[in-house]
């Protein structure tokens, strides 16, 4: 009886872990799809990918791979919806929702001039600019960039982005498996420095973008006033 109870508890625990993993897989897909539409989900997909990296080092290859594929699929599906909205609804979509995406006719013209014939690399790099994912997707649809080139840019950007967080999770999981609990203080400063560094890089990028937009707006205002 005792052995049967132990086996039953282990089985229940295993099922609970499997359900939790399935929940993470589903949540990662939904969160990433929403992010492609301009609806933020701070830290959800990043933490899911780091968990996937940890699972890979722990030997749970299927769980880790499923999370990675889920986030990748969420990006492709979500960005495809935004692309189609721009392509088939065009100006009507921008007039109604453009203010939420920071997309105006002037912004669209600016994107057209910057993208030019370099659709795939421009989309890939542009997606790393904060708040630009949904804007780029809608603009790409309105510009009628071929779906193959657009999807290639999205896929490359997502793979690079996923690789970063999966690697962080894998390295952290490996480090934790190699140290004793009493040695956790040895790696904690490095983790804190890495988190602070990521925050500072993001804050710097956001500040530079804001500063550039403000400078451009001031220049335009000065020119209009001079005229």
With both helix axes pointing from N to C terminus, report the angle between 133-142 and 61-89 in degrees, rounded to the nearest 10: 50
Residue 61 has pLDDT above 80, yes or no: yes
- Shared domain check, 219 and 167: no
Report residue 92: phi and psi, to 5°: -60, -40
- Shared domain check, 89 and 17: yes
Report which of residues 176 and 14 the model is more confident about: 176
Question: How many C-alpha atoms does 36 have within 13 Å on its Cβ side?
Answer: 28
Quote the domain boundaries for residue 217.
Answer: 181-227
Taking the C-alpha atoms of 55, 77, 19 and 39 in order, what is their torsion angle to the nearest 10 degrees? 90
Distance of CA 139 to the CA centre of its chain: 18
pLDDT at 200: 67
- Are 133 and 78 a contacting pair, CB within 8 Å? no
pLDDT at 39: 79
- Shared domain check, 187 and 94: no
- Are 5 and 51 a contacting pair, CB within 8 Å? no
- Shared domain check, 193 and 165: no
pLDDT mean across residues, the chain = 75
Taking the C-alpha atoms of 128, 131, 134 and 136 in order, what is their torsion angle to the nearest 10 degrees? -60
Taking the C-alpha atoms of 175, 74, 72 and 165 in order, what is their torsion angle to the nearest 10 degrees? -30
At 225, is the pLDDT very low, low, confident or very high (cuts 50, 70, 90)?
A: low
Among candidate residues 178, 199, 217, the one where a domain is terminated? 178
The candidate with the shortest Cα–Cα distance to 87, out of 150, 133, 39, is 150
For the segment 71-83, the average pLDDT, to the nearest whole number, is: 93
pLDDT at 72: 95
- Shared domain check, 155 and 60: yes
Count other C-beta atoms under 10 Å from residue 61's C-beta: 10
pTM: 0.67
Residue 102 has pLDDT above 90, yes or no: no
- For the chain, the domain total comes to 2
Contacts (Cβ under 8 Å, ≥6 apart) of 211: none
- Shared domain check, 66 and 172: yes
- Token code pair at residue 33: 């799809």
Query: What is the spatial distance between Cα 83 and Cα 96, in angstroms, rounded to a whole number?
Result: 16
Residue 17 has pLDDT above 50, yes or no: no
């Amino acid at each position: 009886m005792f052995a049967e109870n132990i086996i039953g508890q282990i089985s229940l625990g295993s099922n609970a872990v499997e359900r939790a993993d399935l929940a993470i897989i589903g949540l990662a897909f939904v969160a990433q799809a929403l992010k492609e539409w301009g609806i933020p989900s701070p830290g959800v997909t990043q933490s899911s990918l780091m968990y996937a990296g940890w699972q890979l080092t722990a030997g749970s290859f299927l769980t880790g791979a499923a999370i990675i594929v889920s986030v990748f699929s969420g990006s492709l599906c979500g960005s495809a919806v935004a692309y189609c909205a721009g392509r088939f609804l065009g100006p009507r979509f921008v007039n109604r929702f453009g203010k939420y995406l920071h997309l105006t006719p002037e912004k669209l013209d600016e994107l057209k001039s910057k993208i030019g014939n370099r659709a795939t690399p421009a989309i890939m790099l542009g997606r790393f600019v904060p708040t630009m994912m949904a804007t780029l997707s809608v603009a790409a649809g309105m510009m009628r960039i071929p779906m193959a080139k657009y999807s290639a840019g999205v896929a490359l950007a997502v793979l690079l982005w996923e690789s970063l967080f999966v690697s962080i999770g894998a390295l952290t999981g490996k480090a934790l498996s190699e140290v004793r609990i009493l040695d956790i203080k040895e790696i904690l400063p490095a983790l804190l420095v890495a988190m602070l560094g990521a925050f500072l890089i993001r804050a710097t990028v956001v500040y530079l973008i804001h500063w550039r937009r403000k400078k451009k707006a001031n220049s335009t205002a000065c020119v209009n006033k001079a005229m």
